[in-house]
Amino acid sequence: MRATMIYGAGDVRVETVPDPVLREPTDALVRVVRSCICGSDLWPYGSMPAGEQGRRIGHEFIGVVEDTGAEVSGLSRGDLVVAPFVWADNTCDFCREGLHTSCRHGGGWGSNGVDGGQGEAVRVPQAQGTLVKLPVAEDSALLPSLLSLSDVFPTGHHCAVTAGVGPRTTVTVIGDGAVGLSAVLAAKRLGAERIILMGRHKDRTDLGREFGATDVVAERGAEGVERVRELTGGDGTHTVLECVGLKPAIETAFGVVRAGGTVSRVGAPQYPDVPADFGVFFRNITLTGGVAPARAYIEELMPDILEGRVQPGKVFDRTVNLDQVPDGYRAMADRTALKVLIQP
Ligand SMILES: [Zn+2]
C-alpha cells in the first residue's frame, strides 16, 4: 500500500510501505477514506532534521474497518469510523475523567511503530476505545465535517470549554487558522454572543464571520490589543481563546483579557516561558487549556454535524489525492490553503 512519509523539513514523500497487519488482539485494520493535513504537521515540515529514515505522518482520518483483533468488540468489518488524533483505550482512569490524551495505554500516530493517517490504510491500536462509528455512508457529503471530529473541531471546542465560554461571556479568538475558526464555531455553539476574531487573512476571517464572529480585528501586537479594548469599553473580553502557539499570540491574549478572565491556549506552544508578569497576576487572570482530548468530545459534537446545525468541514478549502500530498503540504506552508483534505 502507499502512505505519506516525512524525511525532514520540506521533504514529504508518498511511498510504498508494507500493508498493515493485526499485531495485538486490541488492533483493527482500517482502510482510509478521508484524511487531512494538520497545522501541527507543519511544525516537522518546517524544522525536522533531515534523516535517512522517514517516518509515517498524519493523525486525522475516517476509514472503513477491514479486520479486527480478537479482543475488539462493538466494531465490525464494513463500519465507517473516525479516529481522534490520539489513540486511547477509553477505559483507564484518565480516559474515564475525559482526559484521553493522558491515557495509560494510549499514544500518538506516526511514530514508535504506529501508522500515520495520511495513507491508504492504518493499523489502529486500542481500536475499541479509539474508533467512533459514523452513521453515514462512505460517500456522504458530511465526511469533511465528520473528519474535523478527529482534531480541529474538538480542539476549538476544548479551548472554549476550558475557558468557560457561555452565553454570558464575551470571547476573543486569536488566530484565523482552522483551529481558530473552529474555536469561533465552538464558542458560538456554546452560546457566546460577542466573539471577536483576531486574524488578518480576509478569506479566513470571512469564514469566521460565517461561523459566528461578530467582529474582526486584523491589527496585531499592541495595535490589535488596543483595537479589542476599544471594542469592549476598554476592558477586554472575559475569555480569550489562543489558537496560534507563538509568543506574540499569548502576549496578545494577556493584553485583551478582562480582569478576572480566562486565557485558554490550544496552539501547541513554540515558546518555553509564559509571559505572565505582575500585571497578569494583579488582574487575576487564569491560564488554562492544553492538548485537546478529542475522543472525549466526539459523541457530544457529532449530532450537531449529522443534523446540519454546524459545518466545521468548511475549513477544508482544497482536496488532493495521495500523489498530491506533497503539494498539499506546500500549499498549507505558504498559506495558499487553509486546510487540505486528502482523498486517497
Ligand atoms: Zn485510557
* Cα 83 to ligand 1 centroid, rounded to whole Å: 15
* Cα 259 to ligand 1 centroid, rounded to whole Å: 37
DSSP symbol at 1: -
* Beta strands, E only, the chain: 2-8, 11-16, 28-36, 55-56, 61-68, 80-83, 86-87, 107-108, 121-124, 132-133, 171-174, 195-198, 215-217, 237-242, 257-265, 286-289, 318-320, 340-342
CA–CA gap between residue 173 and residue 181 (Å, rounded): 8
Task: Express each pLDDT in 154-190 by its tens digit.
Answer: 999 999 999 999 999 999 999 999 999 999 999 999 9
Task: Express each pLDDT in 247-279 by its tens digit.
Answer: 999 999 999 999 999 999 998 898 999 999 999
C-alpha cell at 286: 487564569
Which pLDDT score is estimated for 51?
87
**What rounded mean pLDDT belongs to the chain?**
97
223 Cβ contact partners less than 8 Å away, ≥ 6 residues apart: none
Among 47-56, 148-157, 216-225, 281-290, which is the least confidently predicted range? 47-56
pTM of the model as a whole? 0.97
Residues lining ligand 1 (ion), CB within 5 A?
88-89, 92, 95, 103
pLDDT band at 145 (very low <50, low <70, confident <90, very high): very high
CA distances 273 to 44, 134, 166, Å, are 21, 41, 29
C-alpha cell at 43: 511544525
* Cα 95 to ligand 1 centroid, rounded to whole Å: 4
Task: Express each pLDDT in 270-327 by its tens digit.
Answer: 899 999 999 999 999 999 999 999 999 999 999 999 999 999 999 999 999 999 999 9
* Cα 98 to ligand 1 centroid, rounded to whole Å: 9
Q: Which residues lie across from 240 on neighbouring strands? A: 172, 263
By percentage, how much of the chain surpasses pLDDT 90?
Answer: 98
Quick check: 164 and 190 in contact, CB under 8 A? no
* Cα 23 to ligand 1 centroid, rounded to whole Å: 19
CA–CA gap between residue 231 and residue 167 (Å, rounded): 18
* Cα 322 to ligand 1 centroid, rounded to whole Å: 32
CA–CA gap between residue 288 and residue 162 (Å, rounded): 6
Which pLDDT score is estimated for 255?
98
Alpha helices (runs of H) in the chain, residue ranges in sequence order: 42-47, 93-96, 127-130, 143-147, 152-163, 178-189, 202-211, 221-231, 247-256, 278-282, 294-306, 325-333
* Cα 287 to ligand 1 centroid, rounded to whole Å: 25
C-alpha cell at 19: 500493508
Per-residue pLDDT at 33 exceeds 90: yes
* Cα 296 to ligand 1 centroid, rounded to whole Å: 11
* Cα 245 to ligand 1 centroid, rounded to whole Å: 26
